[in-house]
Amino acid sequence: MLSSVEELGEIDRQIEEVNEKRSELAGQLQLQTQQEEELLTQLDAVNEQLGEVAEEVGRARTCADVEQLRIKYGPLAVLAQLEQLFRERDARAGAVQAADALQRAMDVLSKLETRTYTLESLQELRELHSTIRDVAAQVPDEEATARAYARFNALVERIGRESAQIFEKELLAAKWDTQQFVRTESAMQHLRELSSSLYSLNELLLPHADSDAMWNFDCMANNFKIKFIYHFNGSSMQQTQSIEMYFQFLDKYLDQNLCKCIEIFQDERAGVTPGLVHQQFINRVLEPIRHKVNSTMVKTAQTHSKEGLNTMLVLISQVFINDNALLKKHYYDGVGLVSMIPNQILDKWLAFETDSTTAQYSKICNGPLNRNGFDLQKLLLNLYEYFEPFYNLDYDRLMDYKFKITKEIFMDLPSNYRKYILTHGDDRAPSYIDESQLEQTLWKLHNLVLIQQLLQEFENKFNFINLTLYFNDLTSSSYSTVLSDVLGSYEEAIVTLRESVIHRIKKMLSSTLRVYFKVNDWSTITPEPEQCSSELVGAVNLLKKIFITMTQFDLTVDIPLIIKNEVLNIIIHFMVDYVVNLNKFSEMGLQQLLIDYDSLKETLNFEVEQDPQNAEEAAFFETIAILKLKHQAPNTATKFMTKEYVEKRDFAEFRSALNIIYSTDSEISSALYRVL
């Protein structure tokens, strides 16, 4: 609506704008109409397509049809539901069919149960086995399946027992485990075929073969069983000699027949491998031995007599020896006889062995010192040989007992002996003369070295290495050996006794040299000496006797060497402290001193002579060289022989001029003062 006359001029423009808006709205209305028509067309198409899908889904009859629809239309929820329905329908139908098939198999079984079979006529039984096995997997009724298995297995076992009786007669008639057996190819082939057929019968058992029902191997061991009963039926395992005979008989039988058994009965095509024959034959042959072992343990457990205890100990020992022989000699890694021994009997065995060993140890320690080291070494060696079959058995239940034996015998006995050695006798008692004290200490040292060397030998044996690895793994430790603590304490004790030997030699030598130390005419000796001083003869003879005696003891190479080196140092200190530092020397006096020193050193009899023998000797020789300066013509060293030079205590130039290397400044100073 116009609001003023002036707006009349704008009316045409406004009319034009209104027409433009009308045209724009008309276009939008036309586009909206077209879109709605297209949407209706698409909905008609979808409805048509859904009808087609519904029609195709309605025609689906199997899971395969559903899969084709899934490929065409994608993972529709309706297809998943339909597939589940088809699976349930098929499962119900399969169960019904399987039940019918199982019933038909049972009808066949009813007919087969009335027949007589031989090992050569088992084809129908094998076919029925396959049928029942395959059908039973589809039958949801577990009780029906179990009943079918039981009936079929009962027939197989009946045939197995009957066939085993025939096979046992064949084996006895063939005398296959004797020298009378004629090892022709045909004879071995016949026995092999019977064994393989009987083994294959075991394979028919459902739901799987039974390792305890290998009738062919039971038959192979039957010859041994009969011989064992024949030889030992009247003997009692209460007699220790009978126990040993049982195991000796077993070992000899395996020696003669194990390889022959493998050669005759192995049949790779039937699954009867050499390894299977080897393992199962030994396992079956052990049965009568197991029976004897079990009956003996029951009887001995009910008696507390000394004879019963002795029988039990012999039995356990023989079980260890036998199982070890089966493992090491016959390579049997199955369950041995040791598995039959209960813990309470093993506890009794362990208690007896440790008590018996402790008693022997006490008896040894009551013997003389010059024998008990040898005797203990022999005892420990014999004990290891005795226990070695036990250690060799790889059976987890025995590990605790292995550690107990190692602790109570191979660790505690050596530890107790070390304590005994260190405390045995009073070396300071006045009743001992010096030489007797020294000899006693050498025997102690000798005995500890014997046991230490034996323990070092033990630590490198496989069984102790295995125990160490097991213990480290169990305790997250890093021991080099389970014997580490014992060996460490022995090393400390040996050092202590070695130092005691050195101390005693020093004491004895000091006493013998008292007269020599009183000699004071060194400065007046003028003739050239040819032999050691007469006052030194006693000391020379003493050292000779000591070190000749020491060679009679079995010591490691390092011990005499250390002792000799320390005694040499003692000799040098005595010479310096009680002779050199207390006397003046003529030229020949120094020469006599060196002859005396060499006489003492020669008694040590070093295996390797060195010049100098050690740093102490080198310093001693340097001191003598400084003392000789006084008796030499004036030379380049003369300038050092003044009080002023010595008091400066700067001996670098002097060391260089005389090649002094080992002496300290104090030793140089002392020697120079003596030549001023």
Could you tell me the residue range of the domain that residue 280 belongs to? Answer: 221-337
Q: Is residue 188 part of a domain?
A: no
Domain boundary among 561, 586, 609: 609
Residue with the larger pLDDT of the pair 648 and 61: 648
Place of tokens 């016949």: 190
| Token code pair at residue 413 | 């006995």
**Is 623 in the same domain as 561?**
no
Q: Is residue 537 part of a domain?
A: yes
| Token code pair at residue 158 | 């009946």
What pLDDT was estimated at residue 212? 76
Q: Is residue 144 part of a domain?
A: no
What pLDDT was estimated at residue 429? 45
**Is 350 in the same domain as 488?**
yes
What long-range pairs does 136-140 form, CB within 8 A, spacing at least 24?
Answer: 136/98, 136/102, 136/206, 136/207, 138/94, 138/95, 138/97, 138/98, 139/95, 139/98, 139/99, 139/102, 140/95
Q: Is residue 123 part of a domain?
A: no
**Is 654 in the same domain as 564?**
no
Written as one string, the DSSP assignment of 468-528 is HHHHHHHHT---S-TTHHHHHHHHHHHHHHHHHHHHHHHHHHHHHTHHHHT---GGG--SP
The stretch 162-189 carries a mean pLDDT of 93
**Is 286 in the same domain as 401?**
no
**Ordered alpha helix ranges (H), 266-393:** 274-285, 287-301, 306-328, 343-365, 369-392
Instruction: State phi, psi for 551 to the nearest 5 degrees.
Output: -65, -15
**Is 431 in the same domain as 545?**
no
Q: Is residue 523 part of a domain?
A: yes
Q: Is residue 146 part of a domain?
A: no
- What is the count of structural domains for the chain? 6
Q: Is residue 185 part of a domain?
A: no
What pLDDT was estimated at residue 431? 42
**Is 596 in the same domain as 466?**
no
Half-sphere exposure of 376 (CA within 13 A, CB side): 37
How would you class 553 by CB atoms within 10 Å of its CB: exposed for 0-12, middle for 13-18, buried for 19 or more? middle
Helix (H, G, I), strand (E, B) or coil at 596: helix
Distance of CA 333 to the CA centre of its chain: 17
Query: Could you read off the pLDDT of 181-232 as tens digits, one per residue?
Result: 988 999 999 999 999 999 998 888 888 887 777 999 999 999 999 999 888 8
* Of 235, 215, 233, residue with least CA distance to 225: 233
Place of tokens 């050569």: 120
**Is 244 in the same domain as 325?**
yes
Q: Is residue 502 part of a domain?
A: no
**Is 371 in the same domain as 326?**
no
**pTM of the entire predicted model:** 0.76
CATH number for the domain spanning 386: value is 1.10.357.100
| Furthest CA-CA distance within the chain | 169
* Of 201, 204, 205, 215, residue with least CA distance to 119: 201
Query: Could you read off the pLDDT of 42-93 as tens digits, one per residue?
Result: 655 555 555 666 766 666 667 677 677 777 777 767 667 766 766 666 556 5
Domain boundary among 337, 357, 389: 337
Ramachandran quadrant class, 266 (left: phi over 0; alpha: psi -120 to 50; beta: rest):
beta
**Is 364 in the same domain as 438?**
yes
**Is 377 in the same domain as 449?**
yes
Q: Report helix angle 434-459 to 537-550, nearest 10.
A: 30
Nearest-10 Cα torsion for 261, 262, 265, 270: 160
**Is 288 in the same domain as 257?**
yes
Residue type, 631: H
**Is 20 in the same domain as 73?**
no
Place of tokens 């000789």: 628
Q: Report helix angle 343-365 to 369-392, nearest 10.
A: 160
